Amino acid sequence: MKISENVYMYPEMGMLDCNSYVIKGQTNIVIDPGSPDMVNELVRKMERDGIDAKKTTVICNTHMHIDHTLANEGFRKATGASIIIHPLQKEFFNISFYETANLFAMHPEAFEENGYFKTNDLKEFGFDWELIPSPGHSRDSICFYSAHEKCLISGDVVFAGNTGRYDLPGGNPVQLGDSIRNLANYDIEILLPGHMGVVKGAEKVKSNFNFVKEFFAE
């Protein structure tokens, strides 16, 4: 589903899944492929939208919770893309991936990354997007922001009318409030969360941030 000039969204399709996003260019970047059971369906939907899944060069994630990452390996096998993670996601991997999964009596097998982001942007891959560390839901949460698209891929930091939970391992309500207040300062017309629906329009995005900031009123 096309969201803007170069951004496509594929809504979550069941348990342990999330909204997946594609940034399209000469190559493609896939953010949060989600559930391993949905890899073939995600590839099919990309192809239906005119996106050659085989031209995906980077798979990355907003954070390491399993509903966002368990499809990494399957999508890599399907496309030949590389899994690239942020250094913070490497640092806090055990907390976000293993400890959080274990809390729900799940013991997943981890994927192996191909490399790390060298800077807090996607310029080395040919995309003018910023990476914004945004802890609170998890220690390793990263948001993806395009000033050109006026678009924020927020993972589980902020949703439409809600925020990510902060009672999981590595969660912190003070950090989450700080992250949300920081993100609210960006020029955003499209808010793309990790679950549920999109918020579109500058005024709606602003109102949504004002609403969720009330959860963390000082």
Q: Which CATH architecture has domain 7-216?
A: 4-Layer Sandwich (3.60)
DSSP E strands in the chain: the ranges are 7-10, 20-24, 28-31, 56-60, 82-85, 115-116, 130-133, 142-146, 151-155, 158-159, 162-163, 190-193, 199-200
Q: Hey, where are the domains in the chain?
A: 7-216
Answer whether residue 215 shows pLDDT above 90: no
Answer whether residue 151 shows pLDDT above 80: yes
- How high is the pLDDT of residue 14? 86
Answer whether residue 66 shows pLDDT above 80: yes
**What are the Cα distances from residue 145, in Å, to 23, 106, 110, 130, 214?**
11, 32, 27, 5, 23
Q: How far apart are CA 163 and CA 178, in angstroms?
A: 12
DSSP E strands in 11-141: the ranges are 20-24, 28-31, 56-60, 82-85, 115-116, 130-133
Average confidence (pLDDT) over 67-71 = 98
Average confidence (pLDDT) over 119-129 = 96
Q: pTM for this one?
A: 0.96
- For 75-88, the pLDDT digits (tens) are 999 999 999 999 99
- How high is the pLDDT of residue 218? 59
Answer whether residue 217 shows pLDDT above 90: no
- Please report which confidence band the pLDDT of residue 125 belongs to, taking 50, 70 and 90 as the band edges: very high
